Amino acid sequence: MSDVAKRYATAFADVAMVRENVAAARAQFASFVDTYAESSELRSFLTSPAIEREAKQTVLEKIAERLELSDTVRNFIYVLVDHRRIDKLGEIRQALDTELNEREGIVEAQVTSARELSEAEQEELIGAIERLTQQRVQAKFGFDAALVGGAVVQIGSTIYDGSVREQLARLRQELEADS
């Protein structure tokens, strides 16, 4: 993640925390980023130096109305276009999610399990992680059959490995050490 993305995300978070419902601002910005990512025509239009600022703002205004963007979100997008940073939207979204999560006391966890977990199992695992970290958890789930069983949870640079694969590796090391 670039320093530019972090600076813009921090600035937007500062304004959103004061002026907006943070969850709504986050969702609205994500909606615009998705719209931008899905339309190559929009990307070409907004990044083209040959197109006048006013034309870009007119199009953005129509998109903002359709997506029901708040003034704060709309103005932030104007700034990105004016400063030719619109091509950094994906990075800025990621940096914004990280920044807002940090400010709201939410940790991001990447959970990899040996099989896909049901919604109830995901909720139970999130509860266990929250008790462990003493923080609210936003988890992303994936699966890897190579784990055999159990799960691996990564929070930042900390990894909690409760997989059967890891337990077997530890057992192998113990047996090799005893011989």
- CATH T-level fold of 3-102: Peroxidase; domain 1 (1.10.520)
Is residue 129 within 8 A of residue 109, CB to CB? The reply is: yes
* pTM given for the model: 0.72
Give per-residue pLDDT as tens, 72-113.
Answer: 999 999 999 999 999 999 999 999 998 998 888 898 899 999
Is residue 96 within 8 A of residue 17, CB to CB? The reply is: no
| pLDDT band with cut points at 50, 70 and 90 for residue 48 | very high
The span from the CA of 46 to the CA of 61, in Å, is 13
| Spans of all domains in the chain | 3-102, 106-178
| pLDDT band with cut points at 50, 70 and 90 for residue 154 | very high
pLDDT at 179: 64
Segment among 21-30, 88-97, 118-127, 167-176 with least mean pLDDT: 167-176
The span from the CA of 94 to the CA of 83, in Å, is 19
- SS3 (DSSP) at 2: coil
Q: Sheet with 158-161: list strands edge to edge.
A: 136-143, 106-113, 151-155, 158-161
